[in-house]
Amino acid sequence: MAESIHSNPEWEMKLHGYGYDSVVKSYCRICHGGCGVLVYVKDGTVVKIEGDPECPTNHGSMCPKGMATLQLAYHPDRVLYPLKRAGGKGEGKWQRISWDEALDTISTKFKQVKEKCGAEAIAVGYGTGRDYEVYLYRFANLLGTPNVLTAGHQCYGSRIAVTTVTCGNLPVCDYEREPKCVVVWGNNVVWTNPDEYKGESLSRALSKGAKLIVVDPRLTYLAGRADVWLQLRPGTDTALAFGLLNVIINEELYDKEFVEKYVYGWEKFIERVREYPLDKVEEITWVPVEKIREAARLYAQTKPACIQWGISIEQTINCIDNNRILTDLMAITGNLDVPGGNVLFVPPPIRVASKFGAHRQLPPEQRKKRLGGETFRLANRIAVLTPKVVWDAILTGKPYPVKALLLHGTNPVITRANANEVYLALSQVEFMAVADFFLTPTAELADIVLPAATWLEIDHVADCWKRHGYVFARRKVVQIGECWSDHKIFNELGKRMGQGEYWSDDVEGDLDYMLEPSGLTWKQFKEKGYLRGKMEYRKYEKQGFSTPTRKVELYSTVLEDLGYDPLPQYREAPESPVSKPEMAKEYPYILTTGFRSPVFFHSEHRMIPWLREIHPDPIVEIHPQVAEKCGIKDGDWVFIESPRGRVKQRARLTIGIDPRVVAAQHGWWFPEIKDPGHGWNTSNINILTNNALEHADPTMGSNNLRALLCKIYAAEESEG
Ligand SMILES: Nc1nc2c(c(=O)[nH]1)N[C@H]1C(S)=C(S)[C@@H](COP(=O)(O)OP(=O)(O)OC[C@H]3O[C@@H](n4cnc5c(=O)[nH]c(N)nc54)[C@H](O)[C@@H]3O)O[C@H]1N2
Ligand SMILES: Nc1nc2c(c(=O)[nH]1)N[C@H]1C(S)=C(S)[C@@H](COP(=O)(O)OP(=O)(O)OC[C@H]3O[C@@H](n4cnc5c(=O)[nH]c(N)nc54)[C@H](O)[C@@H]3O)O[C@H]1N2
Ligand code: SF4
Ligand SMILES: [Mo]
């Protein structure tokens, strides 16, 4: 357990004044993490959590989800012991077992499957990035399976994969050096604090007078505050970026010296940009030419400027091209790796994914077997696959069967496209083990459920902010039930699978190994609290960019070698009024799914009273004109329907959305429904999304979640 910091007189006061026993400095990880916190303990129980004013990334601020950790950790429905299925699959009958029995059952099954069908018949999975994936990849590689299920095909993985081939690393906003203009592109960072960002940093930049451009089909808080708001048609971001590039190139607003010295493929790139003149861009995107000009001039002429990009650009068929065209914008305006621009931070010297995860341990003949690897070749390069290939392998046995799943921290029944297919596949897979906090609709289909520890219950080198150069010491404060960290689960299961030589005797040994290059042990590191890599700007002046040509590749030699278009291009969404005019007669609205709620994380937290009280029901945003036409009032339950099915959400009428667009939330199930399905298909928007491989981004297999077609209509009173 971590020791208290109450030797500090100021804390002494706080502790004794309020009757706490100790207070521990740690780092929250309800979302992707990164907020420094103070955890107050009384009689062995956490009784209060507050932001740590000394933390350099959040300066004491916290979001509602982090503050509600108490209600999550001590929730009466939390899984506190290993469970095994005691009835039929999905019947909701469970029996408590010991950790030994749980891990022996899983390892025995995995050995049988590996022996009979090969390690590739076992898929290991997680969901959004949670910084335990280093252990998961290590376990999977040593097991010999190339099939690791993640959300990376459509979240963040694409960003890493394509920025690496374009400019060597992921360029992130350098808020510390005060950008004078910020472009928030398909991102609601003040609500979502995703990956290496906290909305707080953007808010600070704006308070200091930075100009703001927002690209979003919805009138978010940031769009309302913007100097220029580009309200585009969902799914048309690449075309809009081509519009901005046109203005910047035609009006010679680009950084000529940078372009001359540091970009590759300029002439061919310009030719491609010219294929998208402004009037064509307006027609595709619905954004008026004048607005495009205004935004392009503001961005290119205000230095330094950075682009804060979000998930929406990745969850479309244009996933890769969106990511690289924004990188191209940063590069040609001279905003790459300069103070206050988009920079390539230097991580501290520790062993993370590629070293600790032991990528190289996966034998080449196994790597070749990665499902879908030959189709989604960029994803394959970073060991990511698109989930449908796993569901297909389970359901059809092709190209080879997947017989067993181990899922840590993911709820694919709710969070993956084509939920009906996901549900079927998980119901039919021969064996499944799930590590989670709760019996989610996914966990309910498992054979074994493992009780996972929350961030309050683990010691960990939290690398959630590594692309900002930070790693943090997350410290174990309490033990709850028999919950184990994911790390410990992989360590113990790995040993049972014959991987003993790669895992330390205990978790602390693994942390020491991870930290070794920094010269610190875990014990020393946790006293220090965090480490930061040494930042250097304009590294390219000395060493070029880390790409095959050492330049920013506007023309990508890597994508060309992989057999893709080396230049960005705009593709129309597979389902849109343009690509499917006939279908649009029956399904007239463009549906964008998954805009976040500030109080939930994906499918999580619906059981947390403080949070559910703020946001009791799923919400679909529609324009009042549409509502009137459909006889819908604000707050009514409505059906949203696509050719894949229909679900029910509550209408929120808003003029902040185009009448041709409907925006629905994802992540909904109802823990209060005690049936083991927990209403997984009532309001789950992924019943409507399509995971057909031909609708996915051809490089990453990203599913198109942000630009579909739908119809909406009032739900019957009795059905509400
Ligand atoms: N509270 C909370 N925080 C979260 C999460 C959560 O579920 N809840 N999820 C986490 C995860 S894994 C992720 S990936 C991040 C995502 O973080 P964000 O990128 O901020 O996520 P969203 O709110 O889904 O989308 C951002 C904006 O994109 C807009 N948008 C929709 N369609 C389009 C489009 O076609 N083009 C453009 N330009 N914009 C569009 C939406 O209106 C929305 O305002 O958040 C992380 N943080
Ligand atoms: N339609 C639509 N679907 C989407 C999106 C969208 O915008 N639209 N967004 C997508 C995106 S960007 C992402 S990243 C995915 C996210 O997909 P998931 O990662 O599957 O989403 P979560 O609901 O966060 O599921 C995480 C589960 O892990 C549990 N959990 C949390 N922390 C831990 C932990 O430390 N250990 C263990 N073992 N369990 C833990 C939680 O209780 C929860 O059940 O969803 C995607 N789904
Ligand atoms: S933003 Fe994330 S890390 Fe920060 S308090 Fe909220 S949930 Fe915790
Ligand atoms: Mo995500």
Q: What is the pLDDT of residues 434-479, one digit of tens each?
A: 999 999 999 999 999 999 999 999 999 998 767 788 999 999 999 9
Among candidates 669, 561, 662, which has minimal Cα distance to 612?
669
Assess contact for 221 and 214: CB atoms under 8 A. no
Ligand 2 atom 7 nearest Cα = 594
The Å distance, Cα 706 to ligand 1 centre, comes to 10
The Å distance, Cα 595 to ligand 1 centre, comes to 5
Q: Please give the residue range of the domain that contains residue 188.
A: 171-343
The Å distance, Cα 187 to ligand 1 centre, comes to 5
Q: How many domains does the chain have?
A: 3
Ligand 2 atom 30 nearest Cα = 409
The Å distance, Cα 352 to ligand 3 centre, comes to 22
DSSP secondary structure code for residue 695 in this structure:
G
Ligand 1 atom 44 nearest Cα = 188
Positions of E strands within 526-624: 530-532, 552-553, 589-593, 619-622
What are 225-254's pLDDT values in tens digits?
999 999 999 999 999 999 999 999 999 999
487 lines ligand 2 (CB under 6 A): no
Q: Decide if pLDDT at 707 tops 90.
A: yes
Q: Which ligand is nearest to the CA of 450?
A: 2
Rounded distance between C-alpha atoms, residue 408 and residue 146, angstroms: 16
Q: Are residues 193 and 311 in the same domain?
A: yes
For residue 512, CA distances in Å to 2, 356, 522 come to: 16, 11, 5
276 burial (CB, 10 Å; 0-12 / 13-18 / 19+) is buried
The residue with tokens 């804060």 is 308
The Å distance, Cα 462 to ligand 3 centre, comes to 13
Residue 127 domain flag = yes
311 lines ligand 1 (CB under 6 A): yes
Assess contact for 443 and 432: CB atoms under 8 A. no
Q: Decide if pLDDT at 68 tops 80.
A: yes
The Å distance, Cα 442 to ligand 3 centre, comes to 24
- Mutation to probe ligand 1, out of 128, 198, 216 (largest number of atoms < 8 A from CB): 216
Residue 118 domain flag = yes
Q: Which ligand is nearest to the CA of 703?
A: 2
217 lines ligand 1 (CB under 6 A): yes
Q: Are residues 203 and 222 in the same domain?
A: yes
Q: Which of 286, 315, 343 is the last residue of a domain?
A: 343
- Ligand 3: list residues with CB < 6 Å: 28, 30-31, 33-35, 62-63, 65-66, 193
Residue 367 domain flag = yes
Mean pLDDT confidence for 203-223? 97
Among candidates 152, 155, 150, which has minimal Cα distance to 126?
150
Task: Give the pLDDT band of residue 355 (cuts 50, 70, 90).
Answer: confident
Task: Give the pLDDT band of residue 576 (cuts 50, 70, 90).
Answer: very high
Q: Are residues 294 and 425 in the same domain?
A: no
Residue 560 domain flag = no
Task: Give the pLDDT band of residue 197 (cuts 50, 70, 90).
Answer: confident
Q: Are residues 210 and 186 in the same domain?
A: yes
What are 487-529's pLDDT values in tens digits?
999 999 999 999 999 999 999 999 999 999 999 999 999 999 9
The Å distance, Cα 310 to ligand 4 centre, comes to 9
Task: Provide the b/e sequence for 547-575 (b: ≥16 CB within 10 Å).
Answer: bebebbbbbbbbbeeeebebbbebebbbb
pLDDT of residue 336: 98
| Percent of the residues in the chain that have a pLDDT greater than 70, as a whole number | 96
The Å distance, Cα 157 to ligand 2 centre, comes to 15
Among candidates 140, 75, 57, 231, which has minimal Cα distance to 607?
75
Ligand 2 atom 29 nearest Cα = 409
Closest-lying ligand 2 atom to the alpha carbon of residue 408: 38
- Mutation to probe ligand 3, out of 26, 28, 200 (largest number of atoms < 8 A from CB): 28
Ligand 1 atom 38 nearest Cα = 186
Taking residue 613's Cβ as centre, other Cβ atoms within 10 Å add up to 9
For residue 17, CA distances in Å to 2, 22, 25, 44, 54 come to: 21, 12, 19, 18, 21
Tokens for 576? Answer: 């849109």
Q: Are residues 335 and 439 in the same domain?
A: no
493 burial (CB, 10 Å; 0-12 / 13-18 / 19+) is buried
β-bridge pairing 83-85 and 460-462: unpaired
pLDDT of residue 568: 98
Q: What is the chain's mean pLDDT, rounded?
A: 95
β-bridge pairing 172-173 and 448-451: unpaired
Q: Which of 502, 530, 562 is the last residue of a domain?
A: 502
The residue with tokens 């299961």 is 493
CATH of the domain at 92: 3.40.50.740
The Å distance, Cα 127 to ligand 2 centre, comes to 5
Q: Are residues 123 and 186 in the same domain?
A: no
pLDDT of residue 359: 57
Q: Which of 502, 529, 561 is the last residue of a domain?
A: 502
The Å distance, Cα 378 to ligand 2 centre, comes to 23
Rounded distance between C-alpha atoms, residue 681 and residue 479, angstroms: 35
CATH of the domain at 278: 3.40.228.10
The residue with tokens 């933390």 is 55
Residue 121 domain flag = yes
Strand-pair partners of 307? 183
- Mutation to probe ligand 3, out of 193, 455, 530, 611 (largest number of atoms < 8 A from CB): 193
| Percent of the residues in the chain that have a pLDDT greater than 90, as a whole number | 90
What are 340-349's pLDDT values in tens digits?
999 999 889 9
What are 277-291's pLDDT values in tens digits?
999 999 999 999 999
Q: Are residues 370 and 313 in the same domain?
A: no
Q: Decide if pLDDT at 12 tops 80.
A: no
Closest-lying ligand 1 atom to the alpha carbon of residue 233: 35
Task: Give the pLDDT band of residue 6 (cuts 50, 70, 90).
Answer: very low
What are 628-679's pLDDT values in tens digits?
999 999 999 999 999 999 999 999 999 999 999 999 999 999 999 999 999 9
The Å distance, Cα 410 to ligand 2 centre, comes to 5
CATH of the domain at 708: 2.40.40.20
The Å distance, Cα 596 to ligand 1 centre, comes to 6
Among 386-390, 500-504, 545-549, 558-562, name the one with the lowest average pLDDT.
500-504
Q: Are residues 440 and 315 in the same domain?
A: no
Q: Which helix (H) or strand (E) holds 444?
A: none
Residue 163 domain flag = no
Global model pTM greater than 0.95: yes
Question: Residues with beta carbon < 5 A to ion ligand 4?
Answer: 128, 155
Rounded distance between C-alpha atoms, residue 626 and residue 653, angstroms: 9
Q: Decide if pLDDT at 210 tops 80.
A: yes
What are 579-636's pLDDT values in tens digits?
999 999 999 999 999 999 999 999 999 999 999 999 999 999 999 999 999 999 999 9
pLDDT of residue 408: 98
219 burial (CB, 10 Å; 0-12 / 13-18 / 19+) is middle
Ligand 3 atom 3 nearest Cα = 33
Rounded distance between C-alpha atoms, residue 66 and residue 22, angstroms: 19
Rounded distance between C-alpha atoms, residue 86 and residue 66, angstroms: 34
437 lines ligand 2 (CB under 6 A): yes
Mean pLDDT confidence for 98-121? 98
Q: Are residues 183 and 323 in the same domain?
A: yes
Residue 625 domain flag = yes
Q: Are residues 412 and 331 in the same domain?
A: no
Task: Give the pLDDT band of residue 17 (cuts 50, 70, 90).
Answer: low
pLDDT of residue 559: 98
Q: Are residues 237 and 122 in the same domain?
A: no
Rounded distance between C-alpha atoms, residue 232 and residue 277, angstroms: 16
Q: Are residues 610 and 708 in the same domain?
A: yes
Strand-pair partners of 580? none
Ligand 2 atom 37 nearest Cα = 409
Q: Which ligand is nearest to the CA of 240?
A: 1
Sign of CA dihedral 544, 550, 551, 556: negative
β-bridge pairing 431-436 and 448-451: parallel
Residue 443 domain flag = yes
Q: Which ligand is nearest to the CA of 128?
A: 2
